[in-house]
Structure 1
Amino acid sequence: MKETLVEGGPEAPARRGPPKSDGGAESARRRKKLVTLTRPWLLLAPSLLVLAGLLLWPLIQVGKLSMQDYEVKFGGGVGTFTGFDHYTDLLSSSLLWKTVLPNTVFFAIACVGLTVALGTLVALLLNRLGAFWRLICSIAILAAWAMPAVTGTYVWIWLFQPQDGMVSQIAGSLGLIDPETTNWFTERGPFYAIATLNVIHHGFPFVAITVLAGLMTIPKELYEAGELDGANAWQRFWNITVPTIKPVFLVVTILSTIWDFKVFTQIYLQPGGDGSNEDVYNLGVFSYIQAFAKNDYGTGAAAAVLLTVLLLLITVVYIRTLFRQGEEDL
């Protein structure tokens, strides 16, 4: 006779209930992910608010002003909306394409190339000096960086002053020029040559100290191995130094480009750079002259927006290059 299994008896299989829900774990994962995504932005929020107040809001106001005919009146000003008329007039101006943009672009390229080259040479020299002389020379070149741009510009104006400037007198004694009739600041080429020397003198210490910091991280064993392989100084520099501190060169090059594209003081303070000579306008000076000398605030604001767009494009290239370099290093 078959034994009947009693439900719930010792031999009866245990009933399986419905699967337990893991909703709690899933909810915890979602909360953790949300915290991970929002925490950096919460930490950055105070700084972003300050930047928005100092940079974004003025930029919005300049963009708004560039679409108006703005007239200053007692107690305020009145703006009449004109759309993109100022941009159309600006981009169709022969002065912009023949003078302002070429001056801005070629001046920046020359300044960046020469500044990075000179700064790198100085960094290589400092890297070969002992600790004491390296300190002395670093302090000496940093004095040029610490000098205000206004002071440095007047020094260069004094050096090239017509008739009694030191450079004019030396060139005159060598028979190269007539100091009585030569004015270095009236023609576009000499004007920007002096401005380039001024910007290089003011900017190369930053490149030198930054590149020096990168050079000091390169192991000496790499250079010793290169010497054993018969590499000369140029080959060691090109095949060891440049690849090793390539990110440093990228940083100083892009930052110098951004700074040199928006040079204003060194151009404006030189004789003729304050608006009396249109041949030496760059975008910064052109924007200032249009807005504050000619009271054409809309065109001046449009030129400022154009300069900002160019700088933003350079910044995007800079960030993408750094990210790409980081991915290659990984």
Structure 2
Amino acid sequence: MGTPVGQVTGGAEPGLRASTGPPGRGRPGPALGLRRRRALLPWALLAPALAVIAALLLFPLARIVWLSFREYRLRNLVSGESDFIGPANYVTLFTDSYLWRVALPNTVGFAVVAVVSTVVLGTLVALLLARLRPVTRVVVVSCIMVAWAMPAVSGTYVWLWIFDVDDGIVAQALQGLGFLGPEGYNWFADRLFFYAVVVLNVVHGGFPFVAVTVLAGLLTVPRELHEAALLDGAGAWKRFWHVTFPVLRPVFAVVTILSTIWDFKVFAQVYLMPGGGVGGSEMLNLGVWTYVSSFGQRDYGMGSAIAVLLTLLLLAVTAVYLRALFREDELR
């Protein structure tokens, strides 16, 4: 009997035509070519976006790294020529006591407090929203999203007005309660109070994003898990920590990493505060120090070195957090 139509002889894999030529010189079958095209299709679709990202992000980043190894001041900006000085900017940066005494502690300390406060407040608001009726939930979400939509500059001036030395709401309330004299108090002259106001500003603008994101995750947690934990006698905290949090671990990873990136490089909320944009001030963080060094003191090489340090710090924090997250997933 003859071989049925479509059956491949010689033990060849289904979907591949048998080669009639010498071994090793046949063409790949249509199925193999189809698999290659399917593997290349996602990269072809992503190519335009990757090209735009490379042009908008990678080139400026490479330019900053290049500037950090050169002496680039105002005269170099005019002439277009600069001198290669190697790691001199980094040596000056790491031997400057201002980095270790002011800029780095302000950046790291503020970011830790702001990230924890934003995630905790956003999670509490999300838990509250999950208990509301749909109509009420929509109204509340619409109200809190106003803070998220408010520009950083506008939000900063609102908090400046609240903590104004003479006519601020806080000063008037404390004066009415007898805790503050008629002379008022300059909240922005003290390093601790300065960053306390900045934390309030950043948390006010950042918690709606965390709340809405965590709420979306809460609505996907099966109700049966909570009912089973409730039958086992678990309280509200145990149900959240042992049921809700493990399910929403990827959601918390996303909001924590994004909040960390945003709060480490916060700029407007510090720069616009009184004393926050003055060179040598005790209030500068790495982001504002980069701007002050580059455009205030016209030392673009040093400003670029500070920017590179901030970028490496962000990458290190993100990598450590992701590594810890993935390690916990592997151990489960």
- Normalised to the residue count of structure 1, the TM-score between the two structures is 0.87
AA paired with 2:124? L
Q: Counterpart in 2 of 1:220? A: 223
Matched residue SS, 1:24: coil
Q: Which runs of 5+ in 2 are unaligned?
A: 1-20
Q: CA RMSD in A?
A: 2.4
- Matched-pair contact (CA < 8 Å) for 2:279–2:289: no
Residue of structure 2 aligned with 1:177, choices 148, 163, 180: 180
- Matched-pair contact (CA < 8 Å) for 1:162–1:179: no
AA paired with 2:56? L
- Matched-pair contact (CA < 8 Å) for 2:162–2:170: yes
Q: Counterpart in 2 of 1:40? A: 42
Q: Counterpart in 2 of 1:90? A: 93
Cα distance in 2 for residues equivalent to 1:28 and 1:261: 52
Cα distance in 2 for residues equivalent to 1:134 and 1:159: 28
Q: Counterpart in 2 of 1:139? A: 142
Cα distance in 1 for residues equivalent to 2:324 and 2:303: 32
Cα distance in 2 for residues equivalent to 1:179 and 1:148: 33
AA paired with 1:65? L
Closer, same or farther: CA 88–42 of 1 in aligned 2, 3 Å: same
Closer, same or farther: CA 48–207 of 1 in aligned 2, 3 Å: same
Cα distance in 2 for residues equivalent to 1:326 and 1:145: 32
CA apart distance, 1:286:
0.5
Residue of structure 2 aligned with 1:274, choices 273, 277, 285: 277
Select between 203-212 and 164-173 the one with higher mean Cα deviation.
164-173
Select between 191-200 and 69-78 the one with higher mean Cα deviation.
69-78
Residue of structure 1 aligned with 2:108, choices 99, 105, 110: 105
- Matched-pair contact (CA < 8 Å) for 1:68–1:82: yes
The total of aligned residue pairs comes to 312
Q: Counterpart in 2 of 1:234? A: 237
CA apart distance, 1:43:
2.6
Closer, same or farther: CA 69–290 of 1 in aligned 2, 3 Å: same
- Matched-pair contact (CA < 8 Å) for 1:124–1:212: yes
Between structure 1 and structure 2, the one with the greater Rg is 1
Q: Counterpart in 1 of 2:313? A: 310
Written as runs of structure 1 = structure 2, the 5 A alignment for 1:187-226 is 187-226=190-229
Cα distance in 1 for residues equivalent to 2:326 and 2:29: 34
AA paired with 1:203? G
Select between 67-76 and 144-153 the one with higher mean Cα deviation.
67-76
AA paired with 2:44? L
Matched residue SS, 1:279: coil
Cα distance in 2 for residues equivalent to 1:47 and 1:306: 27
Deviations 1:122-151 (A, max 9, x none): 000000000111000000000000000000
Q: Counterpart in 1 of 2:51? A: 49
- Percent identical: 52
CA apart distance, 1:315:
3.6
Cα distance in 2 for residues equivalent to 1:109 and 1:272: 22
- Matched-pair contact (CA < 8 Å) for 1:169–1:179: no
- Matched-pair contact (CA < 8 Å) for 1:127–1:216: yes
Matched residue SS, 1:53: helix
